[in-house]
Structure 1
Amino acid sequence: MLHERRVTRSVVGALALSAAMFVSAPRTATAQESADPIKLTLHDWTGQLITTEIMGEVLKKAGYSVEYVQADYLAQFAGLETGDLHVAMEMWETTGRDAMDASTATGKTEVFGPTGMQAKEEWWFPEYMKEKCPGLPNWEALKDEKCAEAFSTAETAPKGRYLGGPVTWGGFDDERVESLSLPFEVVHAGTDAALFAELESAYQRKAPIMLWIYAPHWAPAKYKGEWVAFPEYTKECYGDPKWGSNTDAAYDCGKPHGEIWKVGWVGVKDKWPGAYKAIKAFSLSNDEMGAMITEVDLNGKKVSEVVTEWMGKNEPRWSEWIKK
């Protein structure tokens, strides 16, 4: 009887263990994949919120648990390196390359590939300002005191005012002003929404404004204007003060441009191999993203509504991303 009780306990224990393993497995993922939530980071601009929610909702369709976590654009790498955060869907070549390279060099994060979108970020001015600063878009026109004053406000006069993005975006605009000896004062917008609200207000009044504009976005399509033509970016410009017109300072050039990358914790591919494959397969175009941002920022739709609409129209496409 003692032997029988031991056998019974052993069988019951095995069944309990089997049941526990079954419960912990994702609904459609293989038994080897974790049921822990995949944590995707959220930042402070509309396009990134859309990109991230599309990826998250696609992963949910594949049976994964997903968690959205608000995180600082550059400081998020500390969490990605420890595995406390898992996926960042937008790291822009224009502003995030240095932070991304430093993080991947640790071996704790990896680049999951391009998003398919091409990034451009630079100083931008409305077309009507060329009358007051006819040398534009050449950056050297900004060195003229009369031109700078044309972009001034009561708070910055006689210096011109440049409205930069939120401080968390990086971009080295303060350093750029100093290294190129521009008579401008950098003022940082508190949020993405505040940045474009100020553009809308100034444009309607034909008031002076010079600000950070980025693409993909609706603004370059809605408003007539141009990006300032700074000296072309090179790695040496940011890394070697001797490069460029100012041999004593770095950042004497424009911002870089190029890919928008997906990046994340190096453990994703082992913990959630199916999700890893889907994240790498994710791709959107600038035109698609610009149209979705327009729906949110200009037409008043919620991010979730726009994502749901995109999912409905593109099911054959995203289904391929999660296909086994």
Structure 2
Amino acid sequence: MRLSTFAAAACAGLVMAGSAFAEAESQEPIKLTMHDWTGQLLTTTIMGKVLAEAGYNVEYVQADYIAQFAGLKSGDLHVAMEIWETTGREAMDEAIGTGQVVNMGDTGMKAIEEWWYPAYMEEVCPGLPDWQALNDCAREFATPETAPMGRYLGGPVTWGGFDEERIESLGLDFEVVHAGTDAALFAELESAYQRKAPIVLWIYAPHWAPTKYEGNFVAFPPYTPECYEDPSVGINPNMAYDCGKPTGPIWKVAWSGLADKWPGAAKAVEAFTISNEDMGAMVSAVDLDGKSLDEVSDAWLAANSSVWQSWIAN
């Protein structure tokens, strides 16, 4: 899922206040969490600017993707704009189960996060995309640091995803090497793709990468909730996570006190929706075209004024 170098400046805990579209219930800052991938920075910046237009004070707070739930439970943080069904569902369900965090509905975007390889790798590993072909070709994916094991380039360790568990449960001759940042992940893909070097890595959508590069997701055994929860389910009767990753909505969550303290803001967060296509285009504009978060988010707001104004209408 993801930190653009162009987006880093937007994470510095700045406070915004805009002209009042409707009267804010409190001038205490609403704290929105910012993570380490461009799409999330964009959704959060757009939401923050809309709330500011409605007269609210908005504070952006850099937070770890999973660890943020502690702050949302306590009320030290207030809104998280992207919890992916693919990686964040367990943490989200646990937090909601406490009664201190609430699901604010889906963002309108549909998520996929999975192992992905460039199409040219099928020449040296013709059994792909079937996951069982990976062991036959593990040496083709090896690097000096992992040989004779193949290397899987995972996302930053904070993203979760259970890749180490998946490798162990499926008996794959691979080692996970985590990219330090979202930018580093895709820089390595770009380098490998230009050289037709071996690589299999974490790719997610909505994002520009699956469109820009020709390739395929690895076809693992289909995901079921039981595969993650019950070791007896699946190919390996002794271990969980012996299947692919889930797909599904990208959710919004909030501190349970949001609607009491800022009811208009809570309604706006619930109303927020955006399409995969819009998000993919915006991420591309930041990551590939070098535009700033502010430039890209302002352009979306200008082009979709009737949409976001409906979020904050009385």
The match for 1:322 is: 312
SS of 2:242's equivalent in the other structure is coil
Cα-to-partner distance string for 1:93-118 (whole Å, 9 max, x where unaligned): 00000000000000000000000000
Cα distance between partner residues in 2 of 1:96 and 1:68: 20
The match for 2:61 is: 69
What one-letter code is carried by the residue in structure 2 that aligns with 1:82?
S
Cα-to-partner distance string for 1:141-200 (whole Å, 9 max, x where unaligned): 0122xx000111111111110000000000000000000000001000000000000000
Cα distance between partner residues in 1 of 2:311 and 2:121: 46
Q: CA deviation at 1:30?
A: 4.3
Are the equivalent residues in 1 in contact too, given 2:285–2:291 (CA < 8 A)? yes
Q: Gaps spanning 5+ residues in structure 2: where?
A: 1-18
Cα distance between partner residues in 1 of 2:181 and 2:20: 38
1:74-113 correspondence to structure 2 within 5 Å:
74-113=66-105
What one-letter code is carried by the residue in structure 1 that aligns with 2:51?
L
CA RMSD, 1 decimal = 1.0
Cα-to-partner distance string for 1:256-295 (whole Å, 9 max, x where unaligned): 0000000010100110000111110000000000000000
1:126-205 correspondence to structure 2 within 5 Å:
126-144=118-136, 147-205=137-195
Cα-to-partner distance string for 1:41-82 (whole Å, 9 max, x where unaligned): 000000000000000000000000000000000000000001
Could you tell me which of 37, 40, 45 is aligned with 2:29?
37
What one-letter code is carried by the residue in structure 2 that aligns with 1:155?
E
1:226-245 correspondence to structure 2 within 5 Å:
226-245=216-235
SS of 1:94's equivalent in the other structure is coil
Cα distance between partner residues in 2 of 1:304 and 1:162: 34
Cα distance between partner residues in 2 of 1:132 and 1:237: 31
The match for 1:46 is: 38
Cα distance between partner residues in 1 of 2:27 and 2:42: 24
| Over 4 Å off, 4+ runs | 26-31
Aligned pair count reads 296
Cα distance between partner residues in 2 of 1:29 and 1:143: 59
Q: CA deviation at 1:27?
A: 4.8
Cα distance between partner residues in 1 of 2:41 and 2:228: 29
2:207 is the counterpart of 1:217: yes
Could you tell me which of 257, 264, 268 is aligned with 2:247?
257
Could you tell me which of 193, 197, 208 is aligned with 1:207?
197
Cα-to-partner distance string for 1:230-271 (whole Å, 9 max, x where unaligned): 011111100000011101110000000000000010100110
Cα distance between partner residues in 1 of 2:235 and 2:311: 47
Are the equivalent residues in 2 in contact too, given 1:124–1:228 (CA < 8 A)? yes
What one-letter code is carried by the residue in structure 2 that aligns with 1:88?
A
Are the equivalent residues in 2 in contact too, given 1:116–1:285 (CA < 8 A)? yes
Cα distance between partner residues in 2 of 1:123 and 1:320: 38
State the TM-score, normalized to the length of structure 1. Answer: 0.90
Could you tell me which of 116, 125, 140 is aligned with 2:117?
125
Cα distance between partner residues in 2 of 1:54 and 1:28: 15
Q: CA deviation at 1:135?
A: 0.4
Q: Between Structure 1 and Structure 2, whose CA radius of gyration is higher?
A: 1
SS of 2:39's equivalent in the other structure is helix
SS of 2:46's equivalent in the other structure is helix
SS of 1:101's equivalent in the other structure is helix
Are the equivalent residues in 1 in contact too, given 2:23–2:55 (CA < 8 A)? no
Cα distance between partner residues in 1 of 2:31 and 2:93: 21
The match for 2:284 is: 294
2:106 is the counterpart of 1:114: yes
SS of 2:126's equivalent in the other structure is coil
Q: CA deviation at 1:209?
A: 0.4
What one-letter code is carried by the residue in structure 2 that aligns with 1:46?
T
